[in-house]
Structures are given as structure tokens and as C-alpha cells.
Amino acid sequence: MSEQTATAEGTAPVPTEPESHLEHLSMQQALNRALAESLAENSKTLIFGEDVGRLGGVFRITDGLQQRFGADRVFDTPLAESGILGMSVGLAMAGFHPIPEVQFDGFAYPAVNQIICQIGRMNYRSRGTLPMPITLRVPSFGGIRAPEHHGESLESLFAHVPGLKVVSPSDPHQAYHLLKHAAQRPDPVIFMEPKARYWQKGQVDTADGGTLEGARVARSGRHVTLIAWGAMVARCLQVAELAAEDGIDVEVLDLRWLKPIDAAALALSVSKTRRAVVVHEAPRTSGLGAEIAALVTEQCFNVLKAPVERVTGFDVPYPSGDLEDEYVPNIDRILFGIQRVLEHRRG
Amino acid sequence: MNSTPTPPEEELTELYRLLVTVRQLDIAAVRWQRQGIIPGYAPLLGQEAAQVGSGYAVDTALDFVFPTYREMGVARAMKVDMVQYMATHKATWHGGLYDPAATHLAPIQAVVAGSVLHAVGWAHGQTLSQHERKPGTGSPVALTYFGDGASSQGDVHEAMNFAAVMKAPVIFFVQNNGWAISVPTAAQVAGGTVAARAAGYGMPSLTVDGNDVVAVLAATRQAIEHCRAGHGPMLIEANTYRLGPHSTSDDPGRYRSLADEQVARSLDPVLRCADLLRVEYGTQAAFFEAVQADVEAETERVREGLEALEPRPGADMFKYVFQEKTPALELQEAAWRGESEHV
């Protein structure tokens, strides 16, 4: 490894405007920054996967990291996802903090045995003596007209597994802070990056990430709560602007953590708005929307004006690019969802 | 008997002692299952030499071992507490109660071939932390066990390929015991041997008589030396025979004959070691009787320990899921406490 560059990275990067800590970054840049700082701050942090080294990853999230930190810290593996994740277990047992990448969501399926049976259980099996501080980065969800198996939404699969935590950022600021936070956790975290949002820029305050546990209110409103994560948060914010023109005041709750789900934040928001619409790209049946609907109903049954509405993908394999816009919840479908909860009348 | 030089008397005596201990514990464990002391067990009868010979070669301060669910002999050779090990078979805790970090024996693994990749990761980690060791110090070595059945799993291929590409200090130790539950090696392993596959990964391999504890020990030491020196992974295939059932729920009478088993019994690894002691060192009956008495006493202590082993507190279910427990899990634990009579 290149010792001298690693040492140079030992201090936090100097902000472009020292007095403000505010930067205009794409999510790709924010994630790259978070990974660089994670490598600099912890000598046990490793990044590996398919094409993450010389190429910098197919989405360039690890761009330049191998040059800066050396091929011991950032390296390419053979093309086998079970191998990547199984190897992560052994590296964690040896005291490392792996941040492996699975190149696309659908490529996590060949590694499911290692993720579920090993990463999710080793801390338990070993009675806490072999923690698994693994952050698995997965470019996730649809929206980029990609081939089959490149647009999957795996959150309910992984959220269902004991021993795993699941998080998804919605914008560059969240991405920067949540990834750094996840990489410091002693437990395995599935980090689902909304690949459709990699290139949109946003303001990142590198000095202040605020609280990084639980959900966050992305937009405050009084009439209805939209609950979303990943790429759907930006879409819900668009919907909120449009609804405002009709006098509907929409609150957007960016769930961020899909395991553990911030049940208290759901209760707080829906107790105020008394109406909830969950929006997700994943298929509807047994999707996370069902869990969220149950949590909202358990906590807010007496104040709810309407059943919790779900605007989701359909129970079909993720379609080809031509049909993608028919599948992923769009503005119209979300507006219809809002309309249904607003117009609901108790029988 | 074999071309391997006979070890010094002290070492051969120790190997014999371990073989008899493991044999006795194994037979006793089946008995304990029949008596209702433990609900199930995976016997290793016939594989004592493969396990003792390899486990004995390990430096437990340095190396790390990745077992399956049938490596009691390895664990005993590594001096792991047998009550804590057997706790998995008493259904006390899946991974056993021994501390993997302290013993350097990974938790008992129920997924066939599940931990082979872990060994590769751990071994590569040793390469990455080479700079933290004193110059001239050899690499710690990962020793991973699997069987002829597990060799069919894709993870084994991925593990061997990763290890060879990364030159990771891993020993792939195959106990070819002839049977994957009911399926014989001929119907499991194309080409007839797992060792032959090593060449495809550019990795050296050794095929060894798995019923010869001296040969297994020598082969394992050779592989450890190879890995320590930084020459990358190595494969050992130890040919042996699972004389007992796959588990205490299995009935080998449905898939193999008593005649087959009788042939295999003639290769008994424990008797062979005893013969070697007599021939090479003129060991007398008094020694064998003393070993037998010691081993019976140890077996009795393990039985007493197992019988005294209480169930873990139910709170342990919640305690070890995460290092940082989630609010949802805390709520579930509180609900369980509130609704349970056992707390």
C-alpha cells in the first residue's frame, strides 16, 4: 500500500469554504468522499468488490480510492458475490471493517446465503464475540433503463432478516453522513444507494449531519404524510409541491432506516396529519409498506381518517426500461394515493 | 504401514491419547443421545485420525480453524473445553459455548461449506496485516474443514479461486469420508477426488491416508509450512470412512451394507496407532490401560458437565442479535418478559 498517501489522508479534508462547510456535490461525489474519509479515519476499513479498484466501480463511487489508499485497502475481487460476502465475514473475524460492494442489487441474490446465514448470524452464533462490522453497499432500485436484475428493491428481503440493518439515503447530504455513520457501526448494515439519484447535486454540510438514527421530516405538512425512502423521497417532494397548488399540505417523511424502522417518527407525523401514504418501488405484496401500515395502524388507529394507502411497484418482475415508468410509482399514482386517503369516508 | 517417519515417542503417545479420547467421547455422545442427555449428535467414528492429526498440527495462538458440525476431534486436539463444545449438541446454543476469539476455533457451522469462504477472508486479513508482525515472522494460517459432499457447493469453488488469486494462507482440509449422508463419493465427486481440482487453481495438494494419524499430521504440518512461508493456499484430501451414521437421526442400513462397514472397520485409525506404538516403541499393556482409565474419567466429567448445563436465559435470544440493539428488539424483549412465566 502507499503509506505516504494514506498518511496524507489522515486528516479530514479541508472544506472549500472553511467558514460554511457547505458543498454542492452529487450523491456519487458525496459517497466517494464518505468512503475516502472512512478509509482515512480507520486503518482497518477495507473496500473491495467487482471493479472497485482500478476502474473505480461501474458507478465510479470508489473512483480514485485505490490510487490514494493503495491496493491493500481498496481491491478488486474475482467476480463472485458469495465469495465477496463470505470473505467479508472472515475479514471481520480478523478485526477488519469491510465495506464490500455488490455491483448491482440483483447480484446480491447469489450472495444471499452468506448475507443471511452468516453475516446476519455470526454475532449471535458467537454470543457477541465475533461482531460483523460490515457495510454492504448495494446500488439499488430502478430508474436507469438497465438490463434485467439491475433494478431490484431488496429492502423487505433484508429487513426481514434478523441481525441485519438496512438504510437508504435520499440525497447527497444524507448519503455522505449515513455512509460514514454506517461504516462506524459494529453491526452489519445493508446500504442501499438509489442509483437513479447518483448524479443529482445537492447541498452537503460536511460538518453537521444532525441525528443519523431514525427517520427525518423532509418536508413539513398538515394534511397527509407521504412515507418514502431512497429515490422516492425526491419524487414525493415533487408531489408535495404540486399538491400545495391545490391547497393540500403534504408532509414527507424520509424513513432512511428500513431496519430498524423509526416507529416513533411514524406515530408523530401521522398523529398530526391523520393520513398516511407509503410509497415504494418494491412489489406490493409483503413489501415494507405492509410493515409500515401495521406500525402506523398500531400506533395511530384512533386518529386515522383513512386506511394507510400504499403506492408501490406491482407484483411483477422489474420490467424492461420501456415499461419502467409504468412500474415505478410516478407523480400521478402518488397523487391518486393522496386523493384516496383525503376522500375516504368511514362507512 | 506408511512412508512418513514415525514421530518421537512422546508425540505419538499424545496422538494416541487424543485418538482414544475422541473415540470414547464420540461413542459416549451417541449413547448420551439415546439416553436423552442430548437431543442429537453427528458422529465422527472412523475419522479420528483425520481430525486429531490435523487439529494437533495447529498453533492455537496463531492460526484459526473453521469447522463444520462434525469436528469434535479437531476441537479436542485444540484443547477446546468439551462441555462448551458439546453444548451445541445439547441444543444449548447453536455455535457452542466456547469463545471462538479465545480458542481460535470458529463457531460450529451447520451450513455445508458455509465457513470455507470465511477462512479465505480471515487468511487474506493476515496478509493485509503482515506489516504489523515482526519481520521474519511467518503468516498465521487458516485451516478450513469440509467434506466430499460439501465439495459440490459453489462456495468451495469460489473460496479456492479467491484464495489462489490472492495467495491467501489457507489450508482446505477435505475429509473424504465416503458418504454425504446417503450419497457415496462416486455419485458426488466427478473425477473421483477433490484433490485433483487443486491443480485447476494452480494450488498444490496432498492426498493422504486419513486413517493414519502420523501421515495426516505430517501432511498438515507440510501445508502449514507452505502457507506460513507465503506460498499461498494448499489442499489436503484425507481419505477416511464415516463408520457411524450421518447423525443420530440417520439409518445407514438404508444405503450401505454391513459388509461395507466391516471392510472399513479393518482400517481402524485408533488400533493402527496402538500397533505403531507397540512396534516402534514397545509400548506395554499398562500404558494402554492407563490411557483407557484416564479417558473414561474424562468422558464421565464431560457427561456430568453436560447434565449440569442449564439452558441459557431467554434474554440471550435478544442479547446477541446485534452489538447495538434496535428499539424494536427492545420492545419485543419487554413484551416477551411481560408475557412469560419463565423470567
- Find all residues with CB under 8 Å of A310, minimum gap 6, and list them: A277, A278, A280, A284, A287, A289, A290, A293, A337
Contact call for B114 and A78, based on CB within 8 A: no
Question: Which residue, among B98, B133, B156, B320, would best test binding to A if mutated, counting the most A CBs under 10 Å from its CB?
Answer: B320
Contact call for B107 and A91, based on CB within 8 A: no
Q: Which residues pair with A22 in a beta bridge?
A: A205
| Ranges B118-132, B239-253, B302-316: which has the least confidence | B239-253
Contact A283, A314 (CB under 8 A): yes
Which residue reads 407509503 in cell numbers?
A278
Report how far residue A281's alpha carbon sits from residue A276's, in angstroms, rounded to the nearest whole number: 17
User: Could you tell me if B247 lies within 8 Å of chain A, comparing CB atoms?
Assistant: no
Whether the predicted pLDDT of A9 surpasses 50: no
Q: What is the mean pLDDT of chain B?
A: 95
The alpha helices in chain B, defined as continuous H runs, are: 9-35, 48-56, 72-77, 82-86, 100-103, 116-128, 154-166, 213-228, 258-265, 269-281, 285-308, 316-319, 327-339
Q: Which of A81, A4, A70 is nearest to A39 (CA)?
A: A70
Report how far residue B119's alpha carbon sits from residue B215's, in angstroms, rounded to the nearest whole number: 24
User: Could you tell me if B319 lies within 8 Å of chain A, comparing CB atoms?
Assistant: yes
Per-residue pLDDT tens over the stretch A100-133: 999 999 999 999 999 999 999 999 999 999 999 9
Cell digits of residue A112 = 444471499
Whether the predicted pLDDT of A322 surpasses 50: yes
pLDDT band for B14, please (50, 70, 90 cuts).
Answer: very high
Contact A248, A222 (CB under 8 A): no
Please give the model's pTM, rounded to 2 decimal places.
0.95
Distance of CA A228 to the CA centre of its chain: 11
Question: Which domains are present in chain B?
Answer: 9-312 (3.40.50.970), 314-343 (no CATH)
Contact call for B162 and A46, based on CB within 8 A: no
**Strands ordered across the beta sheet of A224-228:** A216-219, A250-254, A224-228, A276-283, A309-313
Length of chain A counted residue by residue: 347
Q: Which residues pair with B66 in a beta bridge?
A: B144
Whether the predicted pLDDT of B215 surpasses 90: yes
Query: Average pLDDT for residues B265-294, to the nearest whole number?
Result: 96
Report how far residue B330's alpha carbon sits from residue B290's, in angstroms, rounded to the nearest whole number: 54
pLDDT band for A13, please (50, 70, 90 cuts).
Answer: low
Per-residue pLDDT tens over the stretch A228-280: 999 999 999 999 999 999 999 999 999 999 999 999 999 999 999 999 999 99
What local confidence, expressed as pLDDT, does residue A20 receive? 75
Contact A273, A225 (CB under 8 A): yes
Question: Which residue, among B318, B323, B333, would best test binding to A if mutated, counting the most A CBs under 10 Å from its CB?
Answer: B323
Neighbours of B131 (CB within 10 A): 9
User: Exactly one of B23, B89, B104, B242 is catalytic; which is it?
Assistant: B242
Q: Kindly identify which residue of chain A lies nearest to residue B95, measuring between CA atoms.
A: A125
Per-residue pLDDT tens over the stretch A28-68: 999 999 999 999 999 999 999 999 999 999 999 999 999 99
| Ranges A183-192, B194-203, B259-268: which has the least confidence | B259-268
Per-residue pLDDT tens over the stretch A151-162: 999 999 999 999
What local confidence, expressed as pLDDT, does residue B342 receive? 65
Residues in B touching A92 (Cβ below 8 Å): 121
What local confidence, expressed as pLDDT, does residue B319 receive? 98
Whether the predicted pLDDT of A1 surpasses 90: no
Report how far residue A295's alpha carbon sits from residue A292's, in angstroms, rounded to the nearest whole number: 5
* Reported ipTM: 0.96
Residues in A touching B107 (Cβ below 8 Å): 122, 125-126, 130
Cα Rg for chain B, rounded, in angstroms?
21
Whether the predicted pLDDT of A2 surpasses 60: no
Residues in B touching A77 (Cβ below 8 Å): 162
pLDDT band for A11, please (50, 70, 90 cuts).
Answer: low
Contact call for B100 and A129, based on CB within 8 A: yes
Contact call for A77 and B324, based on CB within 8 A: no
Whether residue B228 lies in the annotated active site? no
User: Could you tell me if B62 lies within 8 Å of chain A, comparing CB atoms?
Assistant: no
Whether residue A280 lies in the annotated active site? no
Per-residue pLDDT tens over the stretch A263-273: 999 999 999 99
Residues in A touching B320 (Cβ below 8 Å): 123-124, 126-128
Residues in B touching A83 (Cβ below 8 Å): 117, 120, 155, 158-159, 161-162
What local confidence, expressed as pLDDT, does residue A196 receive? 97
Which residue reads 484464495 in cell numbers?
B163
Task: Look at phi and psi of residue A230 and say left if phi exceeds 0, alpha if psi is from -120 to 50, else beta.
Answer: left
Whether residue B246 lies in the annotated active site? yes
Residues in A touching B322 (Cβ below 8 Å): 123, 163, 165, 187
Query: Average pLDDT for residues A68-94, to the nearest whole number?
Result: 98
Question: Which residue, among A75, A121, A124, would best test binding to B if mutated, counting the most B CBs under 10 Å from its CB?
Answer: A124
Residue type, B306: L
